[in-house]
Amino acid sequence: MLQDNLILEHYGLNELNFDTIKSYRDRFAEVKPAHPWNALETKEFLYKVGAWGKVRDTHKEGVTLAGLLLFSEERIITEVLPQYFLEYRESKGDEEWTERFTSQDGTWSGNIFDFYFHIHEIVRNNEPQPTIASSLTEALINMLIHADYNGEGGVILEKQPSHYVFSNPGLLLVPADSVFSNTVSQLRNPNIVKLFSLLGLCERSGSGLKKVKQSWSLHHYKKPSIDQDVSMHRTVVTLSMSAQERQISSSEKDTYTTSVTDSGNNFKSVEKYQNIPENNVEINSCNKNEDSYNKGLVEELNSYNNDNSSYNKEGNYYNSELNSYNNGNSSYNNYQSSYNKEPEDDSSNSVNGEDIDTKLWDIAALAREKKRLSPNQMEHIILELCKEKPLMLKEFAYLLERTPDGVRNNYLTKLLRKGQLQLKYPNQPNHPKQAYLFHKKDIEK
C-alpha cells in the first residue's frame, strides 16, 4: 500500500488544479483568518499543509500522494493510482439511477476535495435536518480518509430511499466491533486527515463513526451497520433512515397518527414514524417544528456537537459557508488571489453587477428569492438564462445567489449530460473563459 506522504518527484505544480487549490485556501482563510500560512506562496503553503514534499538527501521535491489526491485531476491521479475512482449515485429504488456522477465525467476535476464538497452540497439540499446532513458528511469524510486508493472498486456513495451506503477499498485498521465506540486514531492516510482537519472537517480522535451512531440514535434510526468483504478487500457502512422498532400502546398510536397527519412533515417514511417518543407533548412539538425535531432534541444535539463535533467549532466552515455566497462581500465575487487561472489582462474574477443585463437579472429573480427550488424550476431558469447569452460559472453563481460548486454539480453537469447545454470550449474543460451555451439543437426547435 502506498503511503500518502510519498513524494512524487516528477509531479510538480503544473499537475495540480489551481481552482481546487484556490478553493481550499479560501476555506482555510475563512476558518483561520489570522493564520500566518495565508500569506505564503502556493508551493510553501502546500508544503506546510502536507501536499508538497522535499527529499532532503537529494534536494528533489514534488507533490505528495495526498496532495495529488486532493488537488490534481483524475487523468493525472490515475497515472499513479490506476484503480482510483470516485462515484456518487442515487435512485428511487429501481435499477435506474436518477442522479450519478463519477471522477471520470470530465466536467469537474475528479479529485477527492472537490468530490467531498460536491456531495456536501447535495446532502445539504436533500436533507433538511442539519444534524442528519452533518452525520452524512461525517461518514463521507470517514470514508475518504480511510480508503485505500490503490485498491479496486473505487470509493462509492449510494443513496437509496431508505438508506445510504458508503463503500470503499481497504479493510478496517481496528476491530469491527469497536468502530462505533473507538476513540483511538488508526490512520491509513495521515496527510489526507491533516488536510481535511485544517479546515475543521475531521479530527484525529477516531470518533467519526461514533458521533454518527450517537446522532442516529438520537433520531431513533436503526443502528448503523458496518461490513467487511475480506475477499474484495472492501469496507461498507450502511446508514438506514428507518426507525428502530418497539412496542407501543394503542393510545400512543392514535395520538401520534393525529400529530403526523396535522404536521405537514416533509419526511414521509412510514417506518421512521413507528418509533414514538414517550412524551406526547414532545411529539406534538416535534411535528409542529419546521425542521421536524423538537427543541429538546436540538439542545441535546447542540450540547453533543459543542463537546465532540468539529462542525460546531468556532470559525467552522459549515457555519460560514451557508451565507458566504449570499452576501455582497462573498469571497467568490472578490477573486483577488494570485492562485486562480485567469489571464493577466483579466485579473479580477468578480462579477460586476453593472455588467449584468437587466433581463438576465429578472429571469433569475425567483432563484434569488427562494433558496429552495425544485430541480426542474432551477434547470428551467438556467436554460432561459443561456438562451440569452453564454454564461460563465461565476455569472451563474452571481445571478442565482448559489455556490459555484452547487450550480455546477447539481444542475449544469446534469444539463450537459442531457445535451441541453454545451461547453463553449468542449475540448478544454478548465479553460479560464469556459462558458455554458444553450444547445443549438434546442435553439432550432
58 versus 7: which is more confidently predicted?
A: 7
Query: Which tens digits make up the pLDDT trace of 327-366?
Result: 433 333 333 333 333 333 333 455 655 567 888 988 998 9
Question: Distance (Å, rounded) from C-alpha 166 to C-alpha 212?
Answer: 13
Give the range among 308-322, 375-389, 409-423 with minimum mean pLDDT. Answer: 308-322
Query: Which tens digits make up the pLDDT trace of 308-336?
Result: 443 334 344 333 433 433 343 333 333 33
Question: Distance (Å, rounded) from C-alpha 353 to C-alpha 435?
Answer: 18
- Give the type of residue at 177: D
165 versus 187: which is more confidently predicted?
A: 165
Q: Which residues pair with 52 in a beta bridge?
A: 63
Q: Strand 225-229 relative to strand 99-102: parallel, antiparallel, unpaired?
A: unpaired
Q: b/e map of 23-33 (b: 16 or more CB within 10 Å)?
A: bbbbbbebbee
Q: Of 299, 296, 268, which Cα lies nearest the Cα of 161? A: 268
Q: Please, which pLDDT band fits residue 21 given cuts at 50, 70 and 90?
A: very high
- Are 216 and 223 in contact by the 8 Å Cβ rule? The answer is yes
Is pLDDT of 272 > 50?
no
Task: Tell me the whole-structure pTM to 2 decimals.
Answer: 0.57
Q: Of 211, 59, 84, 71, which Cα lies nearest the Cα of 155? A: 84
Is pLDDT of 402 > 50?
yes
Task: With residue 66 as reference, give the H or E element that holds it.
Answer: helix 65-71
Question: Distance (Å, rounded) from C-alpha 411 to C-alpha 418?
Answer: 11
Q: Please, which pLDDT band fits residue 1 given cuts at 50, 70 and 90?
A: low
pLDDT at 291: 44
pLDDT at 405: 81
